[in-house]
Chains A and B, each alone.
Chain A
Amino acid sequence: MSHSHTDQEAHNAEAMAEIKKVTIILSVFTIIELMLGFWMMSMTSVALKLAIKGTIVILMMAKAFYIVAYFMHLKHEVKNLIMTIIVPLLLFVWFISAFLWDGSSFRNLRNDYDPHFKEQATIKVEQKEEAHGASKQEAAETKHESLAPTKETSKPEPTPYY
């Protein structure tokens, strides 16, 4: 091997610097994500919320990239190994889009053809504040006993099937 001792040391320092850099990047990204999360809580505009969610997803992907590329060392592997891992992961694009697409389509179909399903989404459960206040425990328990709350309003008590 042609590496001299000083080469090794330089290499070490380089690697440590890289680890430090990635740690800082990951932390900063996480903090930005959290800040966006806090900001989003007080927000009412749906479009802006969506934009922030998009930003968070991008940050998530960036974090994933840094973990895989540097912590898992993939960036320093042979290019072919990188390709054999990245290319199959591209399947996720269609995996995600088809599933989510059909998920929202299922909701739309039911909203169109299942009046009960749609009605449920408009009935507000009362005592919302209470449910999250001091008597949270009790509220949770009563909820548990009748697990299909809105159905009571429109139909007789369900008989459990099993």
Chain B
Amino acid sequence: MSHEAALHEGHGHEEHGHHEHHDTFLTKYVFSQDHKMIAKQFLITGMVWAVLGGLMSVLFRLQLGYPDASFPWLESLLGKWAKGGQITPEAYYALVTTHGTVLVFFVLTAGLSGTFANFLIPLQVGARDMASPFMNMLSYWFFFTASVIMMSSLFVETGPFSGGWTAYPPLSALHDASPGSKTGMDLWIISMALFVVSSLLGGLNYIATILNMRTKGMSMTRLPLTIWALFFTAVLGVLSFPVLLSGMILLIFDRNFGTSFYLSDIYVNGVGALSNEGGSAILFQHLFWFLGHPEVYIILLPAMGMVSEIMSVNSRKPIFGYMAMLGSLFAIAILAFLVWAHHMFVTGLNPFLGSVFVLLTLLIAVPSAIKVFNWLTTLWRGNIRFTPGMLFAIGFVSLFISGGLTGIWLGNAALDIYLHDSYFVVAHFHIVMGVASMFGMFAGVYHWFPKMYGRYLNNTLGYVHFWITIAGAYMIFWPMHYQGLAGMPRRYFDFSIWESFKQFAELNRFISTVAMIVFATQILFLINFFYSIFKGRKVTVLNPWESNTLEWTTPIRPGHGNWPGEIPEVYRWPYDYGKDGHDFIPQTTPVGADETGTH
């Protein structure tokens, strides 16, 4: 087979770049098969969900901060869910549950990896589009349908599911367990099933594109770390989401067809309350967390990858320890599958098995520490450009360290007996997984916005956004550690009735106030985002961040097919910053004759 033929085979979309598409509005903006448009669709849907999910958290923080106050506007907003201007306990639980589900799955999974995997993979590996643009489009529309169904569950008579985002049975398996366990839970399951399909279609596409569609010269070790991170994210998703799907199918049978996979036994006044029994509720938790723990890394890894890339670009230094970064990504991806039961130390798990999980869990600290030190050493003596994107990247590292350290506490089964289900846990995972990934997402948006829309975001607003958000994030979640250590349990509607928790009334009010301010700041970001799409400063140079990666070799506003002419060939790794007296050497620059130490 001739070399040209081989090249051509790997790029089935070669011809797409050359002729102009004449798209109607529908094919360009709605049923688009262009990966960049799909990325924007994911991003904006994710942002809508982020606002809703954030608003929910503000509402239940309002209850926690001001348990005695009454807000008439709440009643006009929520109707019967806030009788007399105070959120009802049912509404509180529904809000907490939906907040968790939405933020974890719709914002930080679809919104984060959906956006940036779609946007960056073809651009950074040098492909015209995804391997299968059609499946890519389906992936978005499955996600959209899942979104619509989840959204509609907010409006059913009995409310959305209210048993926590983990949907443990029996709350999720019995129709009468809580108001939200009726239609709300059915819709929740359907929505999650569609979401699994979406993530599967997306993930297979990302993997196939990264493996098969790399441009000439783009060997695996010349891939930017973003792509590696997104690759492992896709692998995690493809292997773990099916397990959730199985768990959900069994759950549907338990709910509607009289089975008892997850129902062991329930007694009310000494009388067995179930018509069928003999299952194991722990089984569901195993199945859920077999997805749930990789899910944490599905959320974190894209942020890690983007942060690596943004840090290197803005420090004008090569990433420190590229291979170590790869190795630690790989180690994290493997370990992600081996540690799920550390979420279940106190649920009746075999204690000895628990100790095995402790060991495996604590092992994650090693690759995580490698990554942190590599980021810090990348910054070390760099010529740092403090763009908003860079600030958010540094913020990510800060949050990842603060949240990761408490993870070491919680990974100990013995400590977990004391700390489990307390605000310590809430603080831990919000910092390390929630806010940190959010920061990664913000960093990515600030950094790649010029590529997405051909305009810059407003820098001043970006700085305001960053400083208020990071200060706010710490002010919200730092005190929660103390509350948790003092024994304050999570998922409680009202703490004011306990003498021992009354002392935290002030602190709760403080947290709630800061939460509202931080939420308002995110609105500022949204204004910045949508204003800049239409009115932002125009990008006039091809490579505004003076970056090495391939996406900056495309036109300022690339069309479908990305490169108007040939796809550029790659001759080096993407981290040649400050090398041989050059500030940066793009990947497309051929290796000079006297150049040293090329990758």
Residues of A within 8 A of B (CB): 88, 91, 94-95, 98-99, 101-103, 105-106, 109-110, 117, 147-148, 151, 155-156, 158-162
In the complex, are the beta carbons of B271 and A155 less than 8 A apart? yes
Nearest chain B CB to A61 CB, angstrom units: 20
Task: Give the chain A neighbours of B235 by CB distance below 8 A.
Answer: 88
Task: Give the chain A neighbours of B274 by CB distance below 8 A.
Answer: 148, 158, 160-161
In the complex, are the beta carbons of B341 and A98 less than 8 A apart? yes
Nearest chain A CB to B3 CB, angstrom units: 15
In the complex, are the beta carbons of A161 and B275 less than 8 A apart? yes
Task: Give the chain B neighbours of A160 by CB distance below 8 A.
Answer: 273-275
Nearest chain A CB to B180 CB, angstrom units: 15
In the complex, are the beta carbons of A102 and B349 less than 8 A apart? yes
Task: Give the chain A neighbours of B175 by CB distance below 8 A.
Answer: 162
Q: A155-B272, A161-B176, A161-B268 known; A105 and B280 CB under 8 Å?
A: no
Nearest chain A CB to B545 CB, angstrom units: 33
Q: A99-B286, A148-B275, A155-B272 known; A162 and B176 CB under 8 Å?
A: yes
Q: A147-B276, A162-B176 known; A102 and B266 CB under 8 Å?
A: no
Nearest chain A CB to B438 CB, angstrom units: 29
Task: Give the chain B neighbours of A162 by CB distance below 8 A.
Answer: 174-176, 275
Kindly supply a per-residue 1/0 record for chain B positions 252-296, scoring 1 wherever the CB is within 8 Å of any chain A CB and 0 otherwise.
000000000000111010111111110010110010001000000
Q: A94-B338, A161-B266, A162-B175 known; A106 and B275 CB under 8 Å?
A: no
Nearest chain A CB to B559 CB, angstrom units: 33
In the complex, are the beta carbons of B282 and A158 less than 8 A apart? no
In the complex, are the beta carbons of B283 and A161 less than 8 A apart? no
- Residue of A99, A106, A147, A158 near B271 (CB, 8 A) is A158
Residues of B within 8 A of A (CB): 174-176, 235, 239, 264-266, 268, 270-277, 280, 282-283, 286, 290, 337-338, 341, 348-350, 353, 356-357
The CA of A99 and the CA of B274, in the complex, are separated in Å by: 25
Task: Give the chain B neighbours of A156 by CB distance below 8 A.
Answer: 271
The CA of A160 and the CA of B239, in the complex, are separated in Å by: 38
Nearest chain A CB to B160 CB, angstrom units: 20
Task: Give the chain A neighbours of B272 by CB distance below 8 A.
Answer: 148, 151, 155, 158
Known contacts A161-B176, A161-B266, then 17 further A-B pairs from the complex at CB < 8 Å, ordered by chain A residue: A91-B239, A95-B290, A99-B283, A102-B282, A102-B349, A103-B280, A105-B349, A106-B350, A147-B275, A155-B272, A158-B273, A158-B274, A159-B271, A160-B273, A160-B275, A161-B275, A162-B174
The CA of A81 and the CA of B264, in the complex, are separated in Å by: 43
Chain A residue at smallest Cβ distance from B282: A106
The CA of A94 and the CA of B286, in the complex, are separated in Å by: 12
Task: Give the chain B neighbours of A155 by CB distance below 8 A.
Answer: 270-272
- Residue of B270, B337, B357 near A91 (CB, 8 A) is B337
Q: A95-B290, A102-B282, A102-B349 known; A161 and B341 CB under 8 Å?
A: no
Chain B residue at smallest Cβ distance from A90: B334
Task: Give the chain A neighbours of B264 by CB distance below 8 A.
Answer: 110
Task: Give the chain A neighbours of B275 by CB distance below 8 A.
Answer: 147-148, 158, 160-162
Task: Give the chain A neighbours of B280 by CB distance below 8 A.
Answer: 103, 106
Q: A155-B272, A161-B266 known; A148 and B350 CB under 8 Å?
A: no
Task: Give the chain A neighbours of B276 by CB distance below 8 A.
Answer: 147-148
In the complex, are the beta carbons of A161 and B290 less than 8 A apart? no
Nearest chain A CB to B440 CB, angstrom units: 25
In the complex, are the beta carbons of A98 and B176 less than 8 A apart? no
Listed A/B pairs (15) with beta-carbon separation below 8 Å: A95-B290, A99-B286, A102-B341, A102-B349, A106-B282, A117-B265, A148-B272, A155-B270, A155-B271, A158-B272, A159-B273, A161-B174, A161-B273, A162-B176, A162-B275
Nearest chain B CB to A107 CB, angstrom units: 9
Q: A95-B290, A162-B175 known; A102 and B268 CB under 8 Å?
A: no
- Residue of B277, B348, B349 near A148 (CB, 8 A) is B277
- Residue of B239, B271, B283 near A103 (CB, 8 A) is B283
Task: Give the chain A neighbours of B273 by CB distance below 8 A.
Answer: 158-161
Task: Give the chain A neighbours of B357 by CB distance below 8 A.
Answer: 98
The CA of A109 and the CA of B349, in the complex, are separated in Å by: 10
In the complex, are the beta carbons of B271 and A109 less than 8 A apart? no
Nearest chain A CB to B354 CB, angstrom units: 9
The CA of A56 and the CA of B547, in the complex, are separated in Å by: 58
Nearest chain B CB to A95 CB, angstrom units: 7
Task: Give the chain A neighbours of B176 by CB distance below 8 A.
Answer: 161-162
The CA of A159 and the CA of B268, in the complex, are separated in Å by: 9
Nearest chain B CB to A108 CB, angstrom units: 8
Task: Give the chain B neighbours of A95 by CB distance below 8 A.
Answer: 290, 337
Interface centre among B268, B275, B277, B280 (most CB of A within 10 A): B275
Chain B residue at smallest Cβ distance from A160: B275
User: Which 9 A/B pairs are nearest by Cβ-Cβ distance?
Assistant: A105-B350, A161-B273, A158-B272, A160-B275, A162-B176, A91-B337, A162-B175, A147-B275, A102-B350
Chain A residue at smallest Cβ distance from B280: A106
Chain B residue at smallest Cβ distance from A95: B290
Task: Give the chain B neighbours of A103 by CB distance below 8 A.
Answer: 280, 283
Q: A148-B275, A158-B272, A161-B275 known; A109 and B337 CB under 8 Å?
A: no
Task: Give the chain B neighbours of A105 by CB distance below 8 A.
Answer: 349-350, 353
Nearest chain A CB to B535 CB, angstrom units: 47
- Residue of B277, B286, B338 near A102 (CB, 8 A) is B286
In the complex, are the beta carbons of B271 and A101 less than 8 A apart? no
The CA of A159 and the CA of B266, in the complex, are separated in Å by: 11
Chain B residue at smallest Cβ distance from A156: B271
- Residue of A98, A117, A147 near B353 (CB, 8 A) is A98
The CA of A99 and the CA of B246, in the complex, are separated in Å by: 15
Chain B residue at smallest Cβ distance from A109: B348
The CA of A91 and the CA of B239, in the complex, are separated in Å by: 10
The CA of A99 and the CA of B277, in the complex, are separated in Å by: 20
